[in-house]
Structure 1
Amino acid sequence: MRLHRNLVLAVMDALYHIFNDDVYADKQIAQTLKRDKRWGSHDRGFIAETTYDIVRWKRLYAEIAEISEPFKRDELPRLFAVWATLKGISLPDWGVFEGTPTRRIKGRFDELKKTRAIGQSIPDWLDELGQKELGAMWDVEIAALNQQAPVVLRANTLKTTPAKLRQRLLDEQIVTKLLKEYPDALELEERKNVFATSVFKEGLFEVQDASSQEVARMLDVQPGMRVVDACAGAGGKTLHLAALMENKGNVVAMDIYQNKLNELKRRARRAGAHNIETRLIDSTKTVKKLHSKADRLLIDAPCSGLGVLKRNPDAKWKLQPEFIENIKKTQAQLLRDYAKMVKPGGKMVYATCSVLSSENEQQVSAFLDSQEGAGFVFDKEKKIYAHQSGYDGFYMALLERANT
């Protein structure tokens, strides 16, 4: 691979802001890609993927480069040099890379990768937590979570089928494969900007990881039901629920952020999902009005997000132990408060994109032991680990309210 100076400088500039200005990687990369309209898809892909890769391996690369945070601008070429050397890419004869000891880089890598927290590039506290909650499985799970996420689409069955969508994408030079285990899913064979396609603008698909697509299906919705998505966000799972219900019945999408619900409305219009109603949770009254009214309830709870580190590698640097402790209290409260919306005989799913048992099965167990959970019965659960599925880590549990 031949490195181009302007692309390498763009990567280092993006890294500087991500590491030093507390900017989310996806937002900074999107901003960086707007800088030069002459960049083609290959150039843009290089910037995005290289930046994410160095963010993902920040701790390991910094240890190899023998630098520490906060990184100065003139230190970032050393991080880039580590990335390039380990990828087998020759460094160009530019002044910034002068005197880079490539042999020492490889030797340091072989030495440091033996220590899991450094070798897998995670904070010590997170390594200890993963070991505590997952035991021996943590080794393979964190290794899997450090791989680049595949791009998976969900065919919008209100407008098309996976097979027809595959052909339409092929017409636009995007090659995909059907995933037998996931009825509505297609995976890209090669990373492409799918949002620029006419197929996307027509609302024929959403980008949604295969594991995430399992959540709506577990809720066992039927056309004509009243379904509440209590933590809808921008609506990825809401849209899937609407499609599974064939646009019949009512999906009440709730969130505490109006801007997310506004984005959901835009997505619903594109998808042709007409049975979605949004409600802002601005007081306890919003939830109380729906007590015992929902045939189905989805609580896609806020969580640590450890199951989606493949696509959000900077999350491990922004996460703090206190956040996880606080979010677990929020999860428990949501379960107790929102479960009241399920009508007798109705069902609910509690889901997270975490692999920690303290956010998952332990929360469900505590809820069932609580006063609010006394009328519910555990039906089934699904634990999805990245090292087994190849996709995001997820948890989901189906509970049923007694018909009395």
Structure 2
Amino acid sequence: MLYALLRHQARLGWWLAKHGREDRPRNRLLVWLTLKEGRTPDQIKRLFNGAKFAPAMLTAHEHGLLVKLQGSTIDHPGMPEEVRLECPSWAADPLRRRFKEAFRQEMAALLTPAPLDLRVNPIKSTREAMLGALKDLGLRAQPSAMAPYGIRLNERVSLASLPMLTTGEVEIQDEGSQLVAMLVDARPGDRVVDFCAGAGGKTLAIAAQMNNKGHVVACDVMDGRLKRAAERFRQAGLHNIQTRLLASETDQWVKRHKGGFDRVLVDAPCSGTGTWRRNPDARWRAPEEQGLDNVVSLQARILASAARLVKPGGRLVYATCSMLPEENEEQVAAFLAAHPAFRAVPLNEAAPRLTGSAHPDYLSLTPARNDTDGFFAAVMQREVVAAPGVAEMG
């Protein structure tokens, strides 16, 4: 119910404003019970009876609101489109520019609950074995449409009922996130940096790609995240990962390891617009607290700093869980313009078997189009420059 209320945040607020009522949780619940669950004033009165563990009794003023709402539904023709689609004002224009005629369809998809996606850890098991184990538990599991190690559960389950989570045989990871890790294309023996590792979901996928061989550095500016990630790495049986706490995106560690890595992933902090169906509260919290311009500026600084770690011929992957052009295509275009040593690698070259992207050159996934979280990823390569006086061989 809490998640449902959050998915109707703007509409519930609109109804309260329409009737001149204070916007507080109790009033929101009363509107929800009436307009979405279809309860009558008498039914709600029996719920709000003041008994032990029950809400306080309805006031005459509250009862009057319920009477006024009878016969209405949660949607109203007088609502602005942004309210009806639960789109915060700061994101409306960028998302309209991004989706054009598909804007309503994409916003509607963001109001649906997200499925539960799992990623099989190939160090410990196979997708076929885990599909069988999940079916033995009575669950409707199926292979993910795009991710080679992905499994989708289209039902609500208690995570405690999934023993393969505690053994490290599977991890919870949206299919789109799995595809971002796949684009890193890490090989056994490579040296790899996950520059904004967070809780380590993509780090785990990358290290598994490498079959526990080579070296992965999981970096972040928050020590608590890295400590939680380290526990996940141990549980997954992955021993080729080192954690590194950075003071900032320009930590001296970056300068000392300039040009030392085959692959660098920058899963940048972002507005999180692509995760709204999974985190319905996020659309009302960020990035208003810090401003979208500040988020875009931070992304640019992180990307420019992390790029220093890529060796000639190495790959740089920039990713967000955003669907805003300012954080995605425009951010990459600005980086490439300022860093001529890098070129964009088209998606059909970076991942020839991957289909379904809304963009021909970059990975671009949306809930309505792909039934994943909204994700963006661009693959860039640092060109190998021949030494002066050395002729290229034909």
Q: Indicate the TM-score class for this superposition, using the shorter chain for normalisation.
A: 0.7 to 0.9
Equivalent of residue 72 in structure 2, options 90, 106, 113: 106
Q: Provide the residue aligned with 1:58 in structure 2.
A: 9
Taking every aligned residue pair, what percent have the same amino acid on both sides? 34
Q: Once the 2 structures are TM-superposed, how far is the Cα of residue 172 of structure 1 from its aligned partner? A: 2.7
Which runs of no fewer than 5 residues in structure 2 stay unpaired? Answer: 49-57, 347-361, 386-394
Name the SS for the 1:212 alignment partner: helix
Per-residue displacement from partner, 1:348-382 (whole Å, max 9, x unpaired)? 10000000111001111101111xx2211111211
For the Cα contact (< 8 Å) 2:35–2:69, is it kept in 1?
no
Q: Look up the match of 1:266.
A: 231
- In structure 1, the partner of 2:53 is none
Structure 1 position 186, deviation (Å): 0.8
Note closer, same or farther for the CA distance 1:54–1:258 as it changes in structure 2 (3 Å cut). Answer: same
Q: Give 2:203's aligned amino acid.
A: T
TM-score by length of 2: 0.83
Matching residue within 311, 323, 328 for 2:278: 311
- Encode CA deviations 1:192-230: one digit per residue, 9 max, x unaligned: 012443221111111111111110111111111001100
Structure 1 residues 241 and 59: alpha-carbon distance in aligned structure 2, compared to 1, 3 A threshold: same
> Are 2:370 and 1:389 aligned?
yes
SS at match of 1:138: helix
CA deviation map 1:145-176 (0-9, x unaligned): 11111111111111111110111122333331
CA distance in 1: counterparts of 2:156 and 2:176, whole angstroms? 19
Letter in 2 for 1:83: K
Does the Cα contact within 8 Å between 1:352 and 1:360 map onto a contact in 2? yes
2:33–2:44 CA contact under 8 A, matched in 1: no
Q: State which of 243, 268, 293 in structure 2 corresponds to 1:325.
A: 293
Is contact 1:54-1:83 (8 Å) kept? no
Shift of 1:182: 1.8
The C-alpha deviation readout for 1:266-296, integer Å capped at 9, x for no partner, is 1011111111110001262121122100100
CA gap of 1:74–1:111, structure 2 versus 1, over 3 A, is closer
Considering only aligned residues, what root-mean-square deviation do their CA atoms show, in Å? 2.2
Shift of 1:177: 1.1
1:224-278 Cα shifts (integer Å, max 9, x gaps): 1001100000100000001111111111100001100001101011111111110
Aligned length: 349
Richer in helix (by share): 1
- C-alpha separation between the residues in 1 aligned to 2:25 and 2:125? 50
Q: TM-score, normalised by structure 1?
A: 0.81
2:356 corresponds to which residue?
none
Match of 1:291 in 2: 258
Does residue 351 of structure 1 match 2:319? yes
Query: Does the 8 Å contact 2:271/2:322 carry over to 1?
Result: yes
Q: Distance in 1 between matches of 2:384 and 2:146?
A: 33
Kindly provide the CA deviation profile for residues 99-132 of structure 1, in whole angstroms up to 9, marking residues without a partner as x: 634874535624246x311111232333233224
Change (3 A) 1:105 1:204: farther
In structure 2, what is the equivalent of residue 225 of structure 1? 190
Q: In structure 2, how many angstroms separate the alpha carbons of the residues matched to 1:396 and 1:235?
A: 17
Larger CA deviation: 231-240 vs 157-166: 157-166
Equivalents in 1 of 2:273, 2:188: separation in Å?
33
Q: Tell me the secondary structure at the aligned position of residue 299 of structure 1.
A: strand
Distance in structure 1 (CA, Å) of the matches to 2:133 and 2:252: 46
